[in-house]
């Protein structure tokens, strides 16, 4: 009798573990930030098409409670990450937003952090969007 109880408990623990792993995998795969950069950029451009006014982009960002504005600059555009500082800036103004993070299903121990950079011309009209992903281990 005790042996059967042990087997049942072991099975239930294993089943619980499998269910938790499936839930974790599904939540990671369903995270929209998990998309390739170009696909994510296209999604952002549907939300904020080129030609959108800077103040309208700010309003859209502020209505998204998952995003955090890191920087709004009315004085200079953004630099592409990981390029020499001699590289020209994109635009005359910019917004930098932290969009969130996810863990890759292929490597659960790596966090991917996603920032979105919007570049605007001198009149505050959107001219480019850049998706910037950085990585960190747990």
Q: Answer yes or no: are the C-beta atoms of 112 and 135 closer than 8 Å.
A: yes
Q: What is the pLDDT of residues 16-26, one digit of tens each?
A: 887 777 766 66
Report residue 27's pLDDT band, with 50, 70 and 90 as the boundaries.
low
Please give the torsion angle defined by the CA atoms of residues 82, 45, 37 and 62, in that order, rounded to the nearest 10 degrees. Answer: 70
| Alpha-carbon distances of 37 from 40, 131, 132, 137, rounded to whole Å | 5, 6, 8, 20
Q: Is 111 exposed, middle or buried (0-12, 13-18, 19+ CB in 10 A)?
A: middle
Which DSSP string do the residues of 59-70 spell out, in sequence order? Answer: HHHHH-TT-EEE
Q: What is the pLDDT of residues 29-59, one digit of tens each?
A: 566 778 889 999 999 999 999 999 999 999 9
Query: What's the pTM?
Result: 0.76
95 Cβ partners below 8 Å, 6+ apart? 54, 57, 58, 61, 69, 71, 72, 73, 117, 118, 120
Strands 126-137 and 68-73: unpaired
Strand extents, DSSP E, 65-125: 68-73, 93-103, 110-120
């Amino acid at each position: 009798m005790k042996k059967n109880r042990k087997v049942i408990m072991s099975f239930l623990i294993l089943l619980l573990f499998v269910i938790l792993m499936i839930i974790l995998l599904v939540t990671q795969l369903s995270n929209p930030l998990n998309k390739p950069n170009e696909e994510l950029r296209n999604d952002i451009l549907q939300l904020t098409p080129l030609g959108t006014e800077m103040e309208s982009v700010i309003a859209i960002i502020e209505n998204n409670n998952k995003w955090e504005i890191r920087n709004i600059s009315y004085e200079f555009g953004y630099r592409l990450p990981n390029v020499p500082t001699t590289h020209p800036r994109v635009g005359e103004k910019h917004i930098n937003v932290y969009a969130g993070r996810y863990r890759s299903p292929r490597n659960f121990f790596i966090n991917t952090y996603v920032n979105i950079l919007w570049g605007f011309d001198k009149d505050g009209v959107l001219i480019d969007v850049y998706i910037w992903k950085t990585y960190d281990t747990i």
